[in-house]
Amino acid sequence: MTKGSDLFVAALENEGVDRIFGVPGEENLDVVESLRKSRIKLILTRHEQAAAFMAATHGRLTGKPGVCISTLGPGALNLSTGAAYAHLGAMPMIMLTGQKAIKTAKQARFQIVDVIASMRPLTKMARQIISAASIPAIVRDAFRVAMEERPGPVHLELPEDVAGEEIDDVPLVPPHPIELPVAPPAALDRAAEMICKAQRPLVMLGAGSSRPKLVEPLSSFIRRTRIPFFNTQMGKGSVTGGSNLYMGTAALSSGDYVHRAVDHADLIISIGHDTVEKPPFIMGPDGPKVIHVGFTAASVEQVYFPHAEVVGDVGPSLALLADRIEGKLRIDPVFTGLRSEITGRIRDRADEERFPPTPQRIVRDVRKVMPEDGIVCLDNGMYKIWFARNYRTHVANTLLLDNALATMGAGLPSAMMASMLYPKRRVLAVCGDGGFMMNSQEMETAVRLGLNLVVLILEDSAYGMIRWKQAVDGFPDWGLCFGNPDFVKYAESYGAIGHRVKHTDDLVPTMEGAFKDTGVHLITVPIDYVENTRVLVEELRGRVPEIA
């Protein structure tokens, strides 16, 4: 005989799960007891949202779903932003929520909301488990659905009577590897012909190219074909090695220096682009032709309507495409000139001494203290554009940002997950003073778990990005400033170590010292956002000359 919750936890072990994040409620107590007897660690968080961000980041970084747990109603609803984060960001995740018993209703409708219905639009699949015997099959299916392209979250609701149900043993379903079909020869031939005919091809690496398994195949494609490339915000770092073909990152949709390369191209090979990202460039009737290379077909949008597609497992498909075009391309020399201009532009003002420091200087200083494999996890705010534009990455998934749901509050939890997965690598969370405070309670979790982690807070006492947009749109400066706690004392109250940067030159040594030490460090630094308007509006609107 076995119990539903034991079977559920055994099914998680069968999938290789080693941790589960969340806040249990009384409806999960059978599961908690089954976890106690298992190899899986229960990691309590101080808010379910953070648990979901952590589980999603596990999926993002490993390709294997992270798992989070909550109670019914209020706890389950607290997972919903994390569900949307994983859904838009294509991160595999399993959410397990409790529910009152379904065969009896001893508490009438107390705490009951239709969680399945609320999760349906935020997940790939949302199911209630109605019998213990179905658990092995449902859990296996949930992991399959979460992992398969396009990956994303799956929600399972386990009512407490099903969790406590005693049944005869049911065998688990063993997982097995699944290979995806490779793009058909006709599609590869057509794409190869278009690329060979083009005069000025350019590769764009999108969010999908950051899948952990694509690190090698993408780098090999660029190495073999020597086609210059740029990336979207979430495609950053997917080509390893300090490639001299990198043209920049599209943090804006148009008008940035990198768009000079886009405008110069007559063909864009768009690898793994996912239109959940803010458009990296806007397709129009007169622009370059576009070939979409992806695990799945391109969604057709007003701003993205590829002329040809190579659909299939991206790694092997790219190898077959490279076989067809390697050695046949002449790379337009204009790209080389553009490249030095674009990379030169993004170094502007990175050396400035003024205090508070400019975003460019902060990005440069962070790059200085982060080794190539160090991981920077951003929350959402104005600085995200600066990091996306200016922070050079050399290793895949070393700048984790969310350009899909673009939610505030994920910076700290995603960094905590990265630090747990890669304890030997430096991990830095970069947060605005707004976004940090949306999940700052997880400082306690980070300290309790004994993580080594540095959190950098950029203080402008405002929702700076919205304040910037307000100014760009010509509205008066109103309503978007707030006060902050004393962040040093705040960190200390959690048992973390707090630092305040008072001179621009102190930023590098403060970060370096924090990384050399162990434990959770919080560093607060004011930021001078005058550069937002000076560069991202005035300079780009006025000074970008036309291509000759």
Ligand X SMILES: Cc1ncc(C[n+]2csc(CCOP(=O)(O)OP(=O)(O)O)c2C)c(N)n1
Q: Pattern of binders to Mg ion over 414-433, x per CB under 5 A?
A: ------------------xx
302: CB partners within 8 A, 6+ apart: none
Q: Smallest distance from the beta carbon of 524 to Mg ion, in angstroms?
A: 11
CB of 276 to ligand X, least distance (A): 14
Which of Mg ion, ligand X, none is residue 31 near (CB under 5 to 8 Å by kind)?
A: none
What does 380 bind: Mg ion, ligand X, none (CB cut-off 5 to 8 Å by kind)?
ligand X
Q: Torsion angle of alpha carbons 181, 185, 186, 190, nearest 10°? A: 110
Residue 407 binding target from ligand X, Mg ion, none, CB below 5 to 8 Å by type: ligand X
- Least gap, CB of 489 to ligand X (angstroms): 19
Distance CA 363, CA 383 (A): 9
Tokens 């007169």, residue located: 286
Q: Which residue is closest to Mg ion by CB? A: 432
Q: Which is nearer to ligand X, 232 or 238 (CB)?
A: 232
What minimum distance in Å lies between the beta carbon of 308 and ligand X? 35
Among 228, 312, 464, 498, binds Mg ion (CB under 5 A): 464
Q: What are phi and psi of 64, to 5 degrees?
A: -105, 135
* Closest listed residue to residue 276, CA positions, set 127, 456, 85: 85
Residue whose CB is less far from Mg ion, 118 or 532: 532
Of 43 and 525, nearer to Mg ion (C-beta) is: 525
Distance CA 342, CA 486 (A): 39
Distance CA 467, CA 479 (A): 9
Q: Find the DSSP H helices in 226-304.
A: 258-264
Q: Which stretch binds Mg ion (CB under 5 A): 109-117, 283-291, 410-418, 461-469?
A: 461-469
Cα 345 to Cα 257, 332, 350, 505, 538, distances in angstroms? 8, 21, 10, 22, 14
- CA of 401: how far to CAs of 152, 329, 370, 427, in Å? 17, 34, 16, 13
Q: How many CA atoms lie within 13 A of 260 on its CB side?
A: 23
Unique residue bearing structure tokens 């290793």: 395
- β 19-23/125-128 pair status: unpaired
What is the 3-state composition of the chain as percent helix, strand, coil, each rounded to the nearest 5?
Answer: 40, 20, 40
Question: Rounded to the nearest whole angstrom, what is the least distance from the CB of residue 383 to ligand X in the complex?
Answer: 5
Q: CA 261 to CA 175: how far, in whole Å?
A: 45
Closest contact distance (angstroms) between CB of 460 and Mg ion is 4
Task: Choose the one of Mg ion, ligand X, none that binds residue 406, judging by a C-beta under 5 to 8 angstroms depending on kind.
Answer: ligand X
Closest to Mg ion by CB, 66 vs 434, is 434
Residue number with CB closer to ligand X (157 or 459) = 459
DSSP string, 359-379: HHHHHHHHHHHS-TT-EEEE-
Q: Which stretch binds Mg ion (CB under 5 A): 66-74, 157-165, 336-344, 434-442?
A: 434-442
Of 322 and 458, which CB lies nearer to ligand X in the complex structure?
A: 458
Shortest Å distance, C-beta 391 to Mg ion: 19
Report how far residue 137's alpha carbon sits from residue 174's, in angstroms, rounded to the nearest whole number: 10
Cβ at position 429, least distance to ligand X in Å: 12
Residue 497: which of 524, 512, 519, 526 has the closest Cα?
519
- The nearest distance, CB 438 to ligand X, in angstroms, is 6
* Shortest reach from residue 435's CB to ligand X, in Å: 3
Residues that bind Mg ion (rule: CB under 5 A) add up to a total of: 6
- Exactly one of 434, 436, 491, 514 binds Mg ion (CB under 5 A); that residue is 434
Q: Choose from ligand X, Mg ion, none: what does 466 bind? Cβ within 5-8 Å by kind.
A: ligand X
Half-sphere exposure of 162 (CA within 13 A, CB side): 18
- In one-letter notation, the amino acid at residue 56 is A
Sites of contact with ligand X (CB under 6 A): 379-383, 406-409, 432-435, 458, 460, 462-466
> 98 vs 409, which CB is nearer to ligand X?
409
CB 409 within 8 A of CB 434: no
Residue nearer to Mg ion on the CB measure, 256 or 433:
433
Distance, in Å, from the CA atom of 63 to the CA atom of 76, rounded to the nearest integer, reads 24
Which of 386, 494 has the CB closer to ligand X?
Answer: 386
Gyration radius of the chain over CA positions? 24
Our finding on whether 201 is near Mg ion (CB under 5 A) is no
Nearer to Mg ion, 199 or 461 (CB): 461
Q: CB of residue 473 vs ligand X: minimum separation in angstroms? A: 15
Using the rule CB under 5 A, is 460 a contact of Mg ion? yes
143 binds, among ligand X, Mg ion, none (CB under 5 to 8 A by kind): none
| Contacts with Mg ion, residue ranges (CB under 5 A) | 432-434, 460, 462, 464
